[in-house]
Structure 1
């Protein structure tokens, strides 16, 4: 059996059904005697260019080990599934089980998003106090006149 990397771009309206699609494809692979080494859900991302007036899509990636017959069945399912906008199957020399760069990038983005709001609230708080101070000084100027 050979190793393959399968990447899918799924229609954004079908994002809620992605988990059932992945399970269906995993079942197809394992029933054919194959192994799923890695399965990643990259989430919704902007497309590099619009495809059929769609600007965002849901990305999935799997590293599998299967025979040619199972791969043909998988490709056939991709072709006739309206939710799958694009698919790419690449032959690999060995099984890849470590997290991909895209998945690690998502984790870093989430970590930065958690840190970012805390710093923004401090800046907003400083801006609010400055505005209040300006209003107080304007009010005191009016009283003096």
Structure 2
């Protein structure tokens, strides 16, 4: 069994169906005797450059453990999914279950937004 990190960019119009998308892939990986160690929904983010005439995409990160015989099945499933704009599958040396930098950054941004809103409401 090898460890893989998968980043998937989903069409922004399909953001409301992300939970179903994730559960579908979770089931598929478990059917292939794999394990899901971490799944993060990074949300909708601005793209650095347009992809298929889109300016935004919904990002998902998955860390899985899977037999190398089945990774091509996962790759094909992702490639032929109409929701997916782009994806990246990387083989990693060790399992990573700690929250990613993107999750830490988004929490900090939420805290800043919350503090700015509360500061404005008390300043009035």
TM-score, scaled relative to structure 2: 0.95
Note the C-alpha offset of 1:105: 0.8
Where does structure 2 lack aligned partners over 5 or more consecutive residues? none
* The structure with more helix, counted as a fraction of residues: 1
Equivalences for residues 38-53 of structure 1 within 5 A: 38-53=38-53
CA RMSD, aligned part only?
Answer: 1.1
The aligned residue for residue 102 of structure 1 is: 102
**SS state at 2:29 partner:** helix
For residues 104 and 4 of structure 1, what CA distance do their matches in structure 2 show?
21
Q: How many residues align?
A: 124
* Distance apart, 1:14 and its partner CA: 0.6
- Please tell me whether residue 11 in structure 1 is matched to residue 11 in structure 2: yes
Gaps of 5+ in 1: 126-145
Mark the structure with the bigger radius of gyration. 1
Q: Which has the higher strand share?
A: 2
Residue in 2 that maps onto 1:137: none
- Which residue is equivalent to 1:54? 54
> Are 1:34 and 1:64, in contact at CA under 8 Å, matched by a contact in 2?
yes
Counterparts of 1:24 and 1:15, CA distance in 2: 15
CA distance in 1, matches of 2:32, 2:52: 34
Q: List structure 1 segments (4+ residues) > 4 angstroms apart after TM superposition.
A: none
Secondary structure of the equivalent of 1:49? Answer: strand
Residue 67 (structure 1) shift: 1.1
Structure scoring higher RCO (CA < 8 A, sep ≥ 6) equals 2
- Are 1:6 and 1:90, in contact at CA under 8 Å, matched by a contact in 2? yes
